[in-house]
Amino acid sequence: MTLNNEIRKRVLQANLDLLDLGLVCLTWGNASAVDRQRGVMWIKPSGIEYNSMSADQIVEVDLNTGEHLGNLKPSSDTATHLSLYKHFPDIGGIVHTHSSMATSWAQACLEIPCMGTTHADHFNGSVPLTRRLHPEEIKDRYEHHTGQLIIERFKGIDPLHFPGVLVAEHGPFTWGKTIQDAVTHAVILEEIAKMAYQTQLLGKHEPIQKSLLEKHFQRKHGPQAYYGQNNNT
Ligand SMILES: [Zn+2]
């Protein structure tokens, strides 16, 4: 029970952080965390205002059956989160927002090109964009198909090297090893979306040179990573 309460608090805090960070308007967003050993995830309840949300309202969902415990319905995007947890075994948290700049690129159906080192520190290239959903995928099991669309786009791509995606005509999903990492990646994605837009407005469309992209990504995430304080190499 204590462990459950701890996770519920963490999920509540992540959802509130999205609001405080300006990434979410009204109830347009959701954050979840998973416990793979127990086969469950926790997610925001559907349609509850952030200012009245409490930790005990965070909904527990069975990872395999998709069934939830308690009276409150989980976020309408739950099936997307479930699909991603099942197919990306290394992620522990997922965030979905309609943050303005990232959503603008998604609506324009454009990947976000890597224009500089801020982007290269976190994504090993352009932020991937999914294809558009087919009408029959929208009509039936829409949220499940949204998850499948992301998985299809990530075929052969390590989700930890690209900790987010733009769903075409919709918006961003980000993830990480923890729910806090997923929130951080949502912030980073919004910032690099804004910077890339501004850079292109200033007249530069050519992406970062490849050697600089690789240098920045690898020094943080590669096998010889040396960025930060915890590595003595
Ligand atoms: Zn959405």
With respect to residue 228, please indicate whether it lies within any of the assigned structural domains. no
Cα–ligand 1 centroid distance for 140 (angstroms): 17
* Rounded mean pLDDT, 151-176: 97
196 closest CA partner among 132, 131, 123:
123
Range list of H helices, the chain: 2-20, 78-87, 100-107, 117-120, 135-139, 142-153, 179-201, 210-221
With respect to residue 165, please indicate whether it lies within any of the assigned structural domains. yes
With respect to residue 232, please indicate whether it lies within any of the assigned structural domains. no
With respect to residue 25, please indicate whether it lies within any of the assigned structural domains. yes
With respect to residue 231, please indicate whether it lies within any of the assigned structural domains. no
Answer whether 0.85 is exceeded by the pTM. Answer: yes
Cα–ligand 1 centroid distance for 190 (angstroms): 15
Question: pLDDT value at position 117?
Answer: 97
With respect to residue 109, please indicate whether it lies within any of the assigned structural domains. yes
Question: pLDDT value at position 233?
Answer: 40
* Rounded mean pLDDT, 9-30: 92
Could you list the residue range(s) of the whole structural domain that residue 141 is in? 2-221
With respect to residue 208, please indicate whether it lies within any of the assigned structural domains. yes
Total structural domains within the chain: 1
pLDDT digits (tens, 9 = 90+) for 24-74: 988 789 999 999 999 999 999 998 888 889 999 999 999 999 999 988 999
With respect to residue 229, please indicate whether it lies within any of the assigned structural domains. no
Cα–ligand 1 centroid distance for 172 (angstroms): 8
Active site residues: 121, 227
pLDDT digits (tens, 9 = 90+) for 168-214: 999 999 999 999 999 999 999 999 999 999 999 999 999 999 999 99
Q: What's the whole-number average pLDDT of the chain?
A: 94
Cα–ligand 1 centroid distance for 95 (angstroms): 10
pLDDT range class, residue 232, cuts 50, 70, 90: very low
b/e sequence 116-151, b meaning 16+ C-beta within 10 Å? bebbbbbbbbbbbbbeebeeeeeeeeeebbbbbbbb
Q: How far is CA 139 from CA 135, 136, 146, in A?
A: 6, 5, 12
CATH at 166? 3.40.225.10
Helix (H, G, I), strand (E, B) or coil at 142: helix
